[in-house]
Amino acid sequence: MENFVLIVLAIFLGYFLNKLKVFPTNAPDTLNKFVIYISLPAMILYQIPKITVSFDLIIPIIVAWTVMSLSAIVILILSKVFTFSKEITGSLLLVGIMGNTSFLGIPIINAYYGQSALPYVIVYDQLGSFLALATFGTFIASYYSSKSQISFKKILFKIFTFPPFISLILALFLINIGYHSIINDVLNSLGQTIVPIALFAVGLQLQLKLPKKELLPFSTALGVKLIISPLLAFTFCYLFFTKSQVVEISIIEAGMGPMITAGVVASMAGLAPRLTSSIVAYGILLAFFTTGILFKLLQ
């Protein structure tokens, strides 16, 4: 419950203090840089080495990547149909595809299935969502934020110099290797700053009333993330897996609200920051209800 309260409080404080003009106009950019260069790498280095792969744990990974790939195709088709700008398309390819599968996923799945289900959440999040953010997300941010033609070489350079990606590569070599307790505690503490700082930055940029021209991409992103993605997950699992708890968990994870850090990456890249923040904020709040409905349907 405290996670849910923190989400609402952090967004509200950011929105309220922005109205009072307490923070400078560049505050969201500064906060986002802290998340990208410090908080997110720390969380990756803390979480990834703990993963132990088994056959059941492969299912969430397969579902995560399948759903994200199909959702990306849907976004690209809809962006072409609705003639969205390059910046908006890039934003939707980040926040309309990658879900908040850890911070939202852990308390929600824990409430529905208990602590025994959490390893599946961690795998879905770390080897699905976060891995996609560090690779696919970096590519999208690099390609769609470019005002001119960008070469494949430049994109690769941006990917391999992106702090979360560097942390991911390092963390993969550290699987099953323990840290000293002090390092472990420091990484954990830094990693926990992601949510309050990123959500506060979202609140600073949030506009309750969006311009009419942004309502269509806003609805498109949330429609894909909260409705189409879990439907794709359900269809894929129905065709290829037998009904089980790990399958249900994977489907609900696919329907989580937009990933906070994906919103940070989109905003940092200049991909419609105002629209991006609104999609993340409203999507997270709506996900409390949509995942509840999804759980009831799966039963």
Task: Check residue 160 and give its pLDDT.
Answer: 79
Task: Check residue 264 and give its pLDDT.
Answer: 83
Interval 281-285 mean pLDDT: 87
What's the pLDDT band for 57 if we cut at 50, 70, 90?
confident
Question: Between the ranges 151-155, 188-192, 193-197, 233-237, where is the mean pLDDT highest?
Answer: 233-237
The structure tokens listed for 51 are 């993963």
The larger pLDDT score, comparing residue 258 to residue 110, is at: 258
Q: Give yes or no for a contact between 98 and 258, defined as CB atoms under 8 angstroms apart.
A: yes
3-state secondary structure the chain: CHHHHHHHHHHHHHHHHHHCCCCCCCHHHHHHHHHHHHHHHHHHHHHHHHCCCCHHHHHHHHHHHHHHHHHHHHHHHHHHHCCCCHHHHHHHHHHCCCECCCCCHHHHHHHHHCHHHHHHHHHHHHHHHHHHHHHHHHHHHHHHCCCCCCCHHHHHHHHHCCHHHHHHHHHHCCCCCCCCHHHHHHHHHHHCCHHHHHHHHHHHHCCCCCCHHHHHHHHHHHHHHHHHHHHHHHHHHHHHCCCCHHHHHHHHHHCCCECHHHHHHHHHCCCCHHHHHHHHHHHHHHHHHHHHHHHHHHC
Q: Roughly how many angstroms between the first and final C-alpha of the chain, as a whole number?
A: 23
**pTM for this entry:** 0.78
Q: How far apart are CA 161 and CA 117, in angstroms?
A: 34
Q: What percent of the chain has pLDDT over 70?
A: 95
Model confidence over 125-149: pLDDT tens digits?
Answer: 878 898 888 888 888 988 888 655 5
Model confidence over 224-234: pLDDT tens digits?
Answer: 999 999 999 99
When computed from its CA atoms, the radius of gyration of the chain, rounded to whole angstroms, is: 18
The structure tokens listed for 270 are 């200049």
Task: Check residue 151 and give its pLDDT.
Answer: 61
Distances from the Cα of 46 to the Cαs of 116, 126, 187, 190, in angstroms?
Answer: 20, 11, 6, 10
Q: How far apart are CA 297 and CA 133, in angstroms?
A: 29
CA dihedral 143, 81, 287, 41 (to 10 degrees): 0
In the chain, what are the domains? Answer: 2-11+41-298 (1.20.1530)
Quick check: 189 pLDDT over 80?
yes
